[in-house]
A and B are shown apart, each in its own frame.
Chain A
Amino acid sequence: MATLNLVQAINLALQQEMAKDDRVIILGEDVGPNGGVFRVTEGLHAQFGDNRVIDTPLAESGIIGTAIGMAMNGLRPVPEIQFEGFLGPAYDQIVNHAARSRSRSRGAITVPLTIRVPVGGGIHAPELHSDSPEAIYAHSPGIKVVMPTTPYDAKGLLISAIRDPDPVIFFEPKRVYRSFREEVPEDEYTIPIGEAKVVSEGDDLTVVTWGASLFQCIEALDNAPDDVSIELIDLRTVDPFDMETIAASVEKTGRCVVVHEAAMTCGLGAEISSRVQERCFLNLLAPVQRVTGFDTLMPYYKLENEYLVNAKRVGMAIKETLAY
């Protein structure tokens, strides 16, 4: 079994799925011979040619709108938006067409589309290259939002997303692209959309997270005292998220800390917190805590590390929640 990083795992998933299903089309800026600015689509143009790996004009709305049309007419397009900050121009097409088509036509015209987008900060990049807008799309009915962190999860989830009959935004935590490797099976496998993973089991407190912050949480858990056992949940899918797993955990532990890189107000931590409060009210031993980005823009990279959620902040929240 090969040990792959996130870029390689995604590349492998695309390559295998394109070989298996000739309806799968990749399109985006620089995805062809250049292999994508992060090299995620490396080698695919050479293997599958101009018709299936398309270098598009510089127009996000155009990319997504055209991909929507392709999906409406029987293809399985996987457009790439180069950075999450550039989803803006495509918002109308995503939310007002991709997410709406099935409902608008009561199932006659559907959009099996997977939009790949690198997300999140920590790579010392300029503005609009480091944001986390997943809550905006989670709030829009009709589209699913997936954010795997590990190579193994990414491969399984991307294939599920491509095969899903409805539109999916597939966020790829860019600071994890090359920083973590693990064994990824060559064989075909899928991970269901909407299923969380319990990364480690525990009885005293539940940490819920997704995206690159997973690693900061793991670090915080490593630094926690030995007599405390913490259950760590990686959601993997942000919308619809796996409330069953979260509820079962909090019923057991009675304490919950939600960690996300995105800004606090109206981030998904608020939704999770609310549902935990509703479902597990009688089991709660402490209020649900959120460790998140501030209600500010992500600063330019000199101050980036002040903004990003780190193991220390996660650890503080864990400690305070345990002490409550």
Chain B
Amino acid sequence: MAGKVSSDPNIFLLPDIGEGLQEAELVKWLVSVGDTVEEGQDMAEVETDKALAEIPSPRNGVIKELRGSAGDKIQVGDPFVIYEGGSAPANADSKQDAELVDPQPPSDDVAADEKDQGTVVGKVGDDLVGASSADGKALATPAVRRMARDAGLDINTVVGTGLGGRVTKKDIENAAAGKGASKKPAAPARRETTPVYDTPAPAPKREVMPIPAGQETVAIPFRGVRRKIAERLRHSVNNAVHFTVMDEADITELNILRKKLSAASGEKVSPLPFVASAICNVMSRDEFRALNATVDDANEQIVQHRAVHLGIAADTDSGLMVPVIKDCDGLGVLEIGREVARVARAARDRSIGRDELMGSTFTLSNVGSHAGRFATPIINYPEVGILAAGRGREGMVVKNGMFRVGMLLPLSLACDHRVVDGATAALALAEIIKLLENPESLLAPARS
């Protein structure tokens, strides 16, 4: 098409009649306002750099407005003749009307980065693919390789924490300072494909019932497991006097360590086993045993336990379930991780035994780990405490007046105030956090 076309059929824009003309001088009008014109009838004489030309009407119509007088320079693309039936804005807004028929304007919204935040519990049975290159050769940009070389490091021994296990600048810095994790370079093997990167664990499927068209409500039956869970929650709230202390743990170091463990073991290790281990460690100390207790309402007593049987609140398709890891304080981090995966999976497909759903002395919940920071969890009655982990996030870590960006894990510890006082709860949480911030200490079981 030779130029812009107005989206309004009553507005005729001056066309480019000569391959790249910008303007034309109006010599004279050949029609007047009010005239009825036919398609093809000459309406004006204009002069351009190339030619003296007549401009014919592109359509039948009645002239409403003629824009310009003899001698005026009219810009190509400006409204030239207005026909009856439309309203034309003043020339100042003429750009409004002159829409170029433009194919597919580029989309410029970019979805948020979805980096692996290291969720506390990944969905069990996830295919979290290829954290690092198959044949042991590091993936890194040329600039990073140069840093490694300048630092005298073999880049293949540096654990990568970037996208897809890439070795980043930070990793080199840590490795050079002797702080980062290192690994033995594996024997080189033929790489099959370009590296595939971590995808974040998808949020658990929720039963979503849309309201059918034409109705104002939808009725969802309240029975079965859902009803049972509701009753238990009611009971807990009615009896335990809930209060919650909240804080965040800097798990930057922990992430490095767990990735090293992942690589070394070939299993996926999330932060959850570390948190579980920290809980077990703290709960088995005398000064915090008050939290590793259950309330015996019938006999009006509080029973403190030696071993920590840790309940892991798991989100299943049927709702909340709490499978129990017996003697959790006797397990190392990797073992805890495996146990968590096993019971969570069994809970999800309902193959879990009744005995595995009973007997917990303390509960860890990560149900809120996909979003949100702090929470006020409901105690798994008759226990006296529950620790909820929120979503790991990047945040500022300030230490000794210096700050850096770290990975923070929000923790909310709810306790039964009939049994646990505020100071104890706060101190317990602080100890858990201290352990999480020194993750090597968690590698060995709390109780040997």
Binding site for B on A (CB under 8 A): 203, 251-252, 254, 279, 281-285, 287
Contacts and interface: CB of A to CB of B under 8 A. Distances in A.
Given A251-B194, A282-B140, 17 more contacts: A203-B188, A251-B191, A252-B190, A252-B191, A254-B137, A279-B194, A281-B141, A281-B142, A282-B139, A282-B141, A282-B166, A282-B195, A283-B137, A283-B139, A284-B142, A285-B145, A287-B142
Contacts of B166: 282
Contacts of B139: 282-283
Nearest to A277: B142
Q: Which 5 A-B pairs have the closest CB atoms?
A: A282-B139, A251-B191, A284-B142, A252-B191, A252-B190
Interface string B137-153: 10111100100000000
A281 B195 CA distance: 12
Contacts of A203: 188
Nearest to A254: B137
Interface of B: 137, 139-142, 145, 166, 188, 190-191, 194-195
Nearest to B164: A282
B447 to A, nearest CB: 45
A60 B137 CA distance: 54
A281 B142 CA distance: 8
B159 to A, nearest CB: 16
Contacts of A254: 137
A281 to B, nearest CB: 7
| Chain A interface, >50% SS class | helix
Nearest to A280: B194
16 contacts: A203-B188, A251-B191, A251-B194, A252-B191, A254-B137, A279-B194, A281-B141, A282-B139, A282-B140, A282-B141, A282-B166, A282-B195, A283-B137, A283-B139, A285-B145, A287-B142
A282 B190 CA distance: 16
Interface-central residue, A203, A251, A254, A281, by most chain B CB under 10 Å: A251
A318 B190 CA distance: 21
A282 B197 CA distance: 13
A259 to B, nearest CB: 22
A213 B63 CA distance: 73
A186 B194 CA distance: 41
B143 to A, nearest CB: 11
B310 to A, nearest CB: 41
A279 B195 CA distance: 11
B14 to A, nearest CB: 31
Nearest to B145: A285
A282 B195 CA distance: 9
A254 B166 CA distance: 15
Contacts of A251: 191, 194
Contacts of B195: 282
A284 B188 CA distance: 15
Nearest to B190: A252
B140 to A, nearest CB: 6
Contacts of B190: 252
A246 to B, nearest CB: 13
Contacts of A285: 145
Nearest to A285: B145
A247 B142 CA distance: 17
B158 to A, nearest CB: 14
A281 B166 CA distance: 12
A320 B237 CA distance: 73
A265 B142 CA distance: 24
Contacts of B142: 281, 284, 287
A287 B142 CA distance: 9
A281 B164 CA distance: 14
Contacts of B145: 285
Interface-central residue, A282, A283, A284, A287, by most chain B CB under 10 Å: A282
B198 to A, nearest CB: 15
Nearest to B144: A282
Nearest to B139: A282
A7 B142 CA distance: 45
A283 B133 CA distance: 10
A287 B190 CA distance: 21
Contacts of A279: 194
A260 B316 CA distance: 62
Nearest to A279: B194
A50 B82 CA distance: 69
A40 B378 CA distance: 89
B262 to A, nearest CB: 20
Nearest to B140: A282
A281 B163 CA distance: 14
Contacts of A287: 142
B259 to A, nearest CB: 18
A284 B143 CA distance: 11
B363 to A, nearest CB: 43
